[in-house]
């Protein structure tokens, strides 16, 4: 038992503690970083503001939360035993199952003893004389560490729009990315959901089944493709486990590191007849589904005209599924498909045929204000018991910049990235020595099977730190030239595709005032080749001193 005196002593001890490495975040990235660094004999402290491990999967507990990459892929591969032991139950794992998996990993590899939960990292400043980072936390005071690692996750800083009157509402307001742990019973209640991105698409059908009345406030229509979730066939699981390494290797060769079991075609959509295209799209829609719908032809991500054929197929599906033509029209997107992440749904469009669900188009005038009883648009007032903000995240940079990070010359990272994140390999930025961002901006991250991309990035960073130690190098820092050309390279790769052609969170367009820069690197295999080449040649693009 710890007495209050012991606790005070503990605080004092930790306030003077030096670590080799301080890591922010105890999700997939932070846990694996801890595991790997510990293996190298380093002292590590991992901080997380949550009261449990899991990162994204700790916070996103909203009804229906589910990964859009298949469970047998969206899992660690570093331990063959772990891979064999863990039994997934569904094709796409739901949030509770992923969280149990992460908790299991933390227990199995004895990770918790180096993790300080309920502790937010507030600030970090590089001390040039000591060549150490001074890190300020809310619960553990100040600590210092040779290396400062941000494993903060690309989608972990919730965005709530600044709508007039938010503090007036007497009901409950919840952001999907900060869903409470307690079960919420929506029966008999009037619910308003703001937003129609992936989180909304997943929770709307489930809330609709419980609520008295559900009103969805849509600013932009999005493409939803059925996820095709189902119980995982035990025979399929056994077959994959019989050659998990081969399965992973085949995935590694794909652009995003997943989906290699499904056929891809070296054909243009524009060379096929209408009938052939219909058949192909129908097959992708009903048997593959989700993000891989766009694997139907090889130019859907590059050619607008080809892309529109796949988009039109989904538009027709919406018209077929939704009974009321006016509602169907409001739900129909007219942009390219896939340049905003496709939403993976289950009964999403069908939900709008329910009598207790109403879609409100706010594309023209938005929500004017939140009132005591609900909210008001320019035409109407809505009484609500709950307002659910499914309004997304300040993606890729938000969680990093929530910390006041100051580099070698005292410059803040926020200031440095004021025109957009300038980051090399998604791993680091000039002026901020001995600081690493795991799957930071400029890494393929969100365009890939993130767990495996995290593993690759963690291994690369850990090998880099080992190299520094073995060679008695005390500082590593990205050069300004390397990061500038990397940002250009990342954007050039994207320019040949549809990705920068929409207002998505990939380009920061969902956050008012955020500079428009395409942030993820497109193409996992070439990214990995570049990383290997850079390391093999003594860390090109970094200054080692």
Task: Tell me which residues touch ligand NA7 (CB under 6 A).
Answer: 155, 161, 176, 194-200, 219-220, 341, 362, 366-367, 390-393, 505, 510
CB of 220 or CB of 237, closer to ligand NA7: 220
Instruction: Retrieve residue 396's tokens.
Output: 């890729």
CB of 510 to ligand NA7, least distance (A): 5
CB of 144 or CB of 196, closer to ligand NA7: 196
CB of 392 to ligand NA7, least distance (A): 3
CB of 125 or CB of 453, closer to ligand NA7: 453
**Which of 453, 436, 398 lies closest to 28, judged by CA?**
453
CB of 422 or CB of 502, closer to ligand NA7: 502
CB of 442 to ligand NA7, least distance (A): 18
- For residues 323 and 355, the answer to whether their CB atoms sit within 8 Å is no
CB of 195 or CB of 259, closer to ligand NA7: 195
CB of 52 or CB of 197, closer to ligand NA7: 197
CB of 188 to ligand NA7, least distance (A): 26
- For residues 428 and 436, the answer to whether their CB atoms sit within 8 Å is yes
CB of 291 to ligand NA7, least distance (A): 9
CB of 185 to ligand NA7, least distance (A): 23
CB of 157 or CB of 176, closer to ligand NA7: 176
Instruction: Retrieve residue 93's tokens.
Output: 């794992």
CB of 58 or CB of 393, closer to ligand NA7: 393
The total of other beta-carbon atoms located within 10 Å of residue 515's CB is: 13
CB of 545 to ligand NA7, least distance (A): 39
- For residues 483 and 423, the answer to whether their CB atoms sit within 8 Å is yes
Q: What is the three-class DSSP state of 167?
A: helix
CB of 162 or CB of 419, closer to ligand NA7: 162
Per-residue burial over 343-369, b if 16 or more Cβ lie within 10 Å, else e, is bbbbbbbbbbeeeebebbbbeeeebbe
- For residues 344 and 291, the answer to whether their CB atoms sit within 8 Å is yes
Instruction: Retrieve residue 10's tokens.
Output: 């503990």
Residues in the chain: 545
CB of 519 to ligand NA7, least distance (A): 13
The helix or strand, by DSSP H or E, that contains position 370, with its residue range, turns out to be strand 367-370
**Which of 372, 354, 380 lies closest to 214, judged by CA?**
354
CB of 161 to ligand NA7, least distance (A): 3
Sign of CA dihedral 205, 207, 213, 219: negative
CB of 60 to ligand NA7, least distance (A): 8
CB of 208 to ligand NA7, least distance (A): 17
**Which of 481, 477, 498, 501 lies closest to 489, judged by CA?**
481
Q: What angle do CA 488, 154, 360 make, to 5 degrees?
A: 105
Burial level of 146, CB count in 10 A (0-12/13-18/19+)? buried
Residue with CB nearest ligand NA7? 197
CB of 344 or CB of 531, closer to ligand NA7: 344
Give alpha helix (H) positions in 211-324: 234-242, 244-252, 274-283, 304-321
CB of 202 or CB of 402, closer to ligand NA7: 202
Instruction: Retrieve residue 109's tokens.
Output: 């590899």
DSSP class of 286: I
Instruction: Retrieve residue 343's tokens.
Output: 């939403």
Q: What are phi and psi of 214, to 5 degrees?
A: -120, 125
């Amino acid at each position: 038992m710890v007495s209050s005196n012991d606790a005070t002593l503990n605080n004092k001890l930790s306030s003077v503690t030096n670590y080799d490495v301080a890591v922010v975040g105890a999700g997939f990235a932070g846990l694996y970083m801890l595991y790997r660094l510990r293996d190298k004999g380093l002292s590590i402290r991992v901080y997380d503001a949550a009261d449990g491990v899991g990162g994204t999967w700790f916070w996103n507990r909203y009804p229906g939360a589910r990964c859009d990459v298949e469970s047998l892929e969206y899992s660690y591969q570093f331990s063959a035993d772990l891979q064999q032991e863990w039994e997934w139950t569904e094709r796409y794992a739901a949030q509770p199952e992923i969280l149990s998996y992460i908790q299991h990993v933390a227990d199995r590899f004895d990770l918790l003893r180096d993790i300080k939960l309920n502790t937010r990292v507030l600030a970090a400043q590089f001390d040039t004389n000591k060549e150490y980072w001074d890190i300020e936390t809310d619960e553990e005071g100040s600590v210092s560490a040779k290396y400062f690692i941000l494993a903060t996750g690309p989608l972990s800083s919730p965005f709530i729009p600044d709508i007039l009157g938010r503090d007036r509402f007497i009901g409950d307001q919840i952001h999907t990315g900060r869903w409470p742990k307690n079960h919420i019973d929506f029966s008999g209640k009037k619910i308003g959901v703001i937003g129609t991105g992936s989180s909304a698409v997943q929770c709307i059908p489930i809330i609709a089944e419980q609520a008295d009345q559900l009103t969805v406030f849509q600013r932009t229509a999005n493409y939803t493709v059925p996820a095709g979730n189902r119980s995982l066939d035990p025979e399929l699981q056994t077959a994959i486990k019989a050659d998990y390494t081969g399965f992973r290797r085949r995935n590694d060769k794909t652009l995003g590191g997943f989906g290699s079991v499904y056929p891809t075609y070296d054909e243009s959509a524009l060379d096929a007849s209408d009938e052939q295209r219909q058949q192909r799209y129908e097959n992708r829609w009903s048997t593959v589904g989700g993000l891989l719908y766009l694997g139907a032809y090889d130019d859907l991500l590059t050619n607008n005209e080809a892309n529109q054929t796949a988009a039109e197929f989904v538009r027709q599906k919406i018209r077929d599924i939704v009974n009321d033509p006016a509602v169907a029209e409001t739900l129909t997107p007219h942009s390219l498909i896939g340049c905003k992440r496709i939403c993976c749904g289950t009964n999403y469009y069908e939900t709008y045929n329910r009598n207790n669900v109403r879609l409100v188009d706010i594309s023209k005038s938005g929500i004017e204000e939140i009132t005591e009883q609900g909210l008001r648009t320019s035409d109407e007032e809505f009484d609500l018991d709950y307002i659910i903000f499914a309004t997304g995240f300040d993606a890729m940079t938000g969680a990093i910049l929530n910390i006041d990070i100051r580099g070698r010359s005292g410059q803040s990272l926020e200031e440095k990235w004021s025109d957009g994140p300038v980051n090399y390999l998604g791993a680091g930025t000039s002026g901020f020595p001995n600081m690493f961002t795991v799957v930071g901006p400029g890494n393929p991250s969100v365009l890939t099977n993130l767990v495996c991309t995290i593993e690759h990035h963690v291994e690369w960073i850990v090998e880099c730190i080992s190299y520094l130690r073995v060679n008695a190098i005390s500082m590593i820092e990205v050069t300004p030239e390397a990061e500038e050309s990397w940002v250009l390279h990342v954007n050039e790769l994207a320019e040949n595709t549809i990705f920068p052609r929409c207002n998505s969170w990939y380009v920061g367009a969902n956050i008012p005032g955020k500079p428009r820069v395409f942030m993820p690197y497109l193409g996992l295999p070439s990214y990995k080749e570049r990383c290997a080449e850079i390391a093999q040649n003594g860390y090109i693009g970094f200054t080692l001193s």
